[in-house]
Structure 1
């Protein structure tokens, strides 16, 4: 029977929103990995049913990769593939296959099933059922929330000319994105409410309407709390009498105190996400923001002072019997997996404030005091800031469109797949960070402050050199237009470890956008302290080495240089100032502060007076901030 080749595209919109809805790094990892995991399993099901399936984006190597043994999201939320179709009705079958498979895997990992007993989210619902906290209404609400949490947009067109077919398909997908998704037949509250026609009699009096509605459908009036993570869906466990779900969530907090914080209330989707690591039986560690901040401090302590630190923590061994993180470190005499927050004196200050028992409070005070004395004696300090790095290829849509054949786009997809595999080693091995995802030309990672900038620079060099050599030089060797050159832009946020994670993720997205807006092929850096005070600046990639030299010498730059300059120019119009005047002002202040010539030259080479009047001040502040969050090996340390 004659067949025609059809080009398909799957898009999952609003992935950025899903990733940013994170209170913990476990939520961040889960939101990213969930998409990759579900999508890969769906595509494997599709290829198993339709043998003619040929993947273009992502490369088939990533789809074939053993997802069960993977821990990092490595494919994007867009999939391009072809299938041989016998008649147009088969297109509906393909789309149905994708939708059903996606829904099946989503429910399985976020709601659990009978084959996953005593593991992850399945165990959670089992324990709730044992204690009579799990009703049919709660399970139905959770399933409804999970089923409707993610939308798939699927389009198909007959493949004639590949380039034209891609353009046609892209327009169709863009049109679908603008449509409102199907109207749901139920309303969320503390239970699911079916939409029914003519349920309520006509009432001219509002009070009468509310009273009658409250009698017929109390859930519609009384409602429940919204989820602590997404802020969109209603929480599980609420009842007509208890709209906060107090007993339900107190039980979960007591049973799973590491994963469910006191006063947290989650919807079915976010609860499943929170337990995703356990559900999938992943044993890899997901570091907290505190742990990332303290990465280099922990290494020094482990190498030189581990026994001393464990002796300090041992003072409170009777206080935290339920804290497996600390007790395991003491028992195994190994701080490798100890969360860095327990090495921060400020952490113990918070527990001191909460503790009511005077004897216990005194023990906590002693631990805090010993830690402070430890850092003072060893002449280094805890680090309270970490970095979030977001990177993206510049103008990738244009570059892909210039590769006009299916074979060329497959080739690009293959090289992007190879790049993705290299990123994990760069982030985690070379720079001691944690890779959240690397899919195609997108990268999201958590890093210590002192290694973050070098990590970003190494990633963009790999991307630039690799793809320009393999794609640009091969197909467009004589093109000078930057649209043909592979470059990356990045946002880098250096944030206090106690700032809300969703806020920091939003800020890094804004930083990346600024890097793109201000000319691309660069990185926009912003630090945000606990007080929310900040400084920000952009650097071209070829300025990184010069800026690193400034960071090394930052302690020799008086802090007053930046503040005095800032105060003097703050009254200037930021859009129409005399650039020569502010340059002379900066030169005068540098001379007044007796800066060494090499530092003066570094500031002259780095400062961009064209873009913003504050750049001179911000670059000094940024260099000093990074230097203050840098830990060097202690030279006089003894094992």
Structure 2
């Protein structure tokens, strides 16, 4: 038996260098598509068995997201599959960027530069390891039985030793990165406005823009060869794989205005609402508008449907014909344009390497080929299960490879989606791996960013990565929520998954006006003295708690018809706050940190509550 592992990079850098959601989505799909094609090539050989990833079906857009940027395979014959995979990788990537160069009509004079940008962009790594037993593994690594006992390695099955040695060799291989010099023949050297890593191509950008569909290339954009390939990859998928809907996936505003899009998709706009949208579209686009093409025009020109324009037309109509019922209806419609925020979620399994390590930290059994296969199958079943909550309006997955999840959504549904994703991950892996074979339940950490639709996407993705890292650094099995208000500084909150339900309930209190929207300001004003002058943790904590109780007690109402909190809700909320403060003091030893945490909890809950509410039928409420 021989084991093979193949991977390539960059991955994070490639995805994060995105200016539009189209770049974000396409870059992820490129990585998955290449892995998919490599696996298909390997499967042509009956001697090869794919161990990871365990993809069971073929050719759908959702399944395409399930391919990670690595594969593990087993084979018997003496053949250099690494060389074959490397050649195939180069062939697939060259076919993609050559197709795009021809599709968008890159001039012959610039094609050489375009191809030089792309040719050596990816670096691939491949290792093959022949089967080794315990003794051979010890000889290779120059360790003895005492070392194995020290690290509690009781492995006997050769598969575990072979896989461990394979991963060690791959790690060593990845420390060497080849450098390919690049000579650009451009006389004008302007940096790529998307990645900033390479010079932009010396093109007539105005001419190129005229030949492209709307919103594909902004007026100020000048891109390099790699970023152009990324931007237009959906053309390639449409032509080669028949995936047609990707062209629609292009704007953060589509997620910010998900409530409107949902009404449009279900054809639930009233005639009056349609008239308002027709008027705006006729003023700011050159299209002939009728009921037959209204839906498509709304989708393609959603950036023209601003809150300011809709509000002006609503007010104009209400001034002409005052009507209370009409005013309520139109103002409700107007509110759907007010939200300008979208959200991105990034999640992955905690300590996944330990599940497949020689040291049985997570397992009760040895690392065998069967366990590895079961692990791969469990990850695929998890991805299959959670694709069912996607609806392409409120929530769309960007990537579902292995234990990694990347999704874009409307802020009002993202927390419930995160809760379901984490729950399914633990449940499915536990069931597939069998409780008798594992020492603890699999866990997941996640970062979540809520940002303004006009915020720089690269900046948002940087915060997303930081949020996920913070969730792991604070103990794993947590969710870090980062809110980036427009023209203000970001705020962060790290929650244990067990506390997420209470946080969602706090959001509902603000949304239903049981808590005043001024509460975060009252708390900040009264608690500031404790934050600035932190002295005795125990004494000051009791005083700070009494201040919080006094402020929240004003929200109690004994009248059941009143919107405010009842006594049970008040005491439950106070108990939760007290537990949070005690927990943070225990973890950080700082009352200041604990009070800042409480303030951020209230601020972020109120911020999310102000978003236009939206029910996503596929997510259990």
Q: Same fold (TM over 0.5)?
A: yes
1:255 aligned residue? 211
Any idea what the Cα deviations from partners look like across 1:251-309, whole Å, max 9, x if unmatched? Answer: 12222242011010111111111111122113223152111111124435766544323
Question: Contact 1:6–1:157 (CA<8 Å) still a contact in 2?
Answer: yes
Any idea what the Cα deviations from partners look like across 1:61-118, whole Å, max 9, x if unmatched? Answer: 2xx5226x557521211211122233xxx33xx2221111111111112221xxxxxx
Any idea what the Cα deviations from partners look like across 1:319-366, whole Å, max 9, x if unmatched? Answer: 54457xx958773457774565444325x59xxxxxxxxxxxxxx976
Matched, 1:561 2:553: no
1:569 offset after TM fit, Å?
A: 3.7
Matches of 1:419 and 1:577 in 2, distance apart?
A: 48
- Name which of 68, 91, 95 aligns with 1:104: 91
Relative to structure 2, which stretch is displaced further, 18-27 or 271-280? 271-280
2:10 aligned residue? 14
Matched ranges for 1:130-145 at <5 A = 134-136=107-109, 138-145=110-117
SS at match of 1:602: helix
Question: Contact 1:8–1:81 (CA<8 Å) still a contact in 2?
Answer: yes
Give the TM-score, by structure 1 length: 0.78
Matched ranges for 1:127-206 at <5 A = 128=106, 134-136=107-109, 138-160=110-132, 161-181=158-178, 183-184=179-180, 186-191=181-186
2:278 aligned residue? 314
1:530 offset after TM fit, Å?
A: 1.0
Matched ranges for 1:5-404 at <5 A = 5-48=1-44, 50-61=45-56, 65-66=58-59, 70=62, 72-86=64-78, 90-91=79-80, 94-112=81-99, 121-125=101-105, 128=106, 134-136=107-109, 138-160=110-132, 161-181=158-178, 183-184=179-180, 186-191=181-186, 224-236=189-201, 238=202, 245=203, 248-256=204-212, 257-281=214-238, 282-284=243-245, 285-300=248-263, 304-321=268-285, 331-332=293-294, 337=299, 340-346=302-308, 376=331, 380-381=335-336, 382-401=338-357, 402=360, 404=367
> Does the C-alpha gap of structure 1 residues 378 and 140 become closer, same or farther in structure 2, counting only changes over 3 Å?
closer
1:391 offset after TM fit, Å?
A: 0.7
1:589 offset after TM fit, Å?
A: 3.5
How many residues align? The count is 538
Matches of 2:457 and 2:536 in 1, distance apart?
A: 37
1:515 offset after TM fit, Å?
A: 0.8
Give the TM-score, by structure 2 length: 0.80
SS at match of 1:153: strand
Matches of 1:172 and 1:536 in 2, distance apart?
A: 39
Question: Contact 1:290–1:339 (CA<8 Å) still a contact in 2?
Answer: no
SS at match of 1:156: strand
Question: Contact 1:190–1:234 (CA<8 Å) still a contact in 2?
Answer: no
- Name which of 379, 382, 400 aligns with 1:416: 379
- Name which of 462, 486, 495 aligns with 2:451: 495
> Does the C-alpha gap of structure 1 residues 493 and 44 become closer, same or farther in structure 2, counting only changes over 3 Å?
same
Matched ranges for 1:430-449 at <5 A = 432-449=394-411
Matched, 1:459 2:418: no
1:630 offset after TM fit, Å?
A: 3.5
1:8 offset after TM fit, Å?
A: 1.0
Relative to structure 2, which stretch is displaced further, 556-565 or 448-457? 556-565
1:47 offset after TM fit, Å?
A: 2.8
Question: Contact 1:52–1:83 (CA<8 Å) still a contact in 2?
Answer: yes
Matches of 1:371 and 1:539 in 2, distance apart?
A: 45
Matched ranges for 1:515-530 at <5 A = 515-530=471-486
> Does the C-alpha gap of structure 1 residues 334 and 249 become closer, same or farther in structure 2, counting only changes over 3 Å?
closer
Any idea what the Cα deviations from partners look like across 1:110-156, whole Å, max 9, x if unmatched? Answer: 221xxxxxxx653212xx5xxxxx134x1111112111111111111
Matches of 1:580 and 1:419 in 2, distance apart?
A: 48
Question: Contact 2:449–2:463 (CA<8 Å) still a contact in 1?
Answer: yes
Relative to structure 2, which stretch is displaced further, 37-46 or 587-596? 587-596
Question: Contact 2:522–2:551 (CA<8 Å) still a contact in 1?
Answer: no
1:526 offset after TM fit, Å?
A: 1.3
> Does the C-alpha gap of structure 1 residues 38 and 327 become closer, same or farther in structure 2, counting only changes over 3 Å?
farther
Any idea what the Cα deviations from partners look like across 1:536-571, whole Å, max 9, x if unmatched? Answer: 211111212221211111231423233224533442
1:578 aligned residue? 537
- Structure 2 unmatched ranges of 5 or more: 133-157, 320-326, 361-365, 557-566, 616-621
1:209 aligned residue? none
1:469 aligned residue? 431
How big is the alpha-carbon RMSD for the aligned residues of Structure 1 and Structure 2? 2.9
Matches of 1:367 and 1:144 in 2, distance apart?
A: 54
SS at match of 1:383: coil
SS at match of 1:234: coil
1:618 offset after TM fit, Å?
A: 0.6
Relative to structure 2, which stretch is displaced further, 306-315 or 550-559? 306-315
SS at match of 2:449: strand
Matches of 2:225 and 2:263 in 1, distance apart?
A: 42
Matches of 2:64 and 2:574 in 1, distance apart?
A: 39
> Does the C-alpha gap of structure 1 residues 286 and 334 become closer, same or farther in structure 2, counting only changes over 3 Å?
closer
Matches of 1:368 and 1:339 in 2, distance apart?
A: 22
Matches of 2:540 and 2:77 in 1, distance apart?
A: 69
> Does the C-alpha gap of structure 1 residues 603 and 338 become closer, same or farther in structure 2, counting only changes over 3 Å?
farther
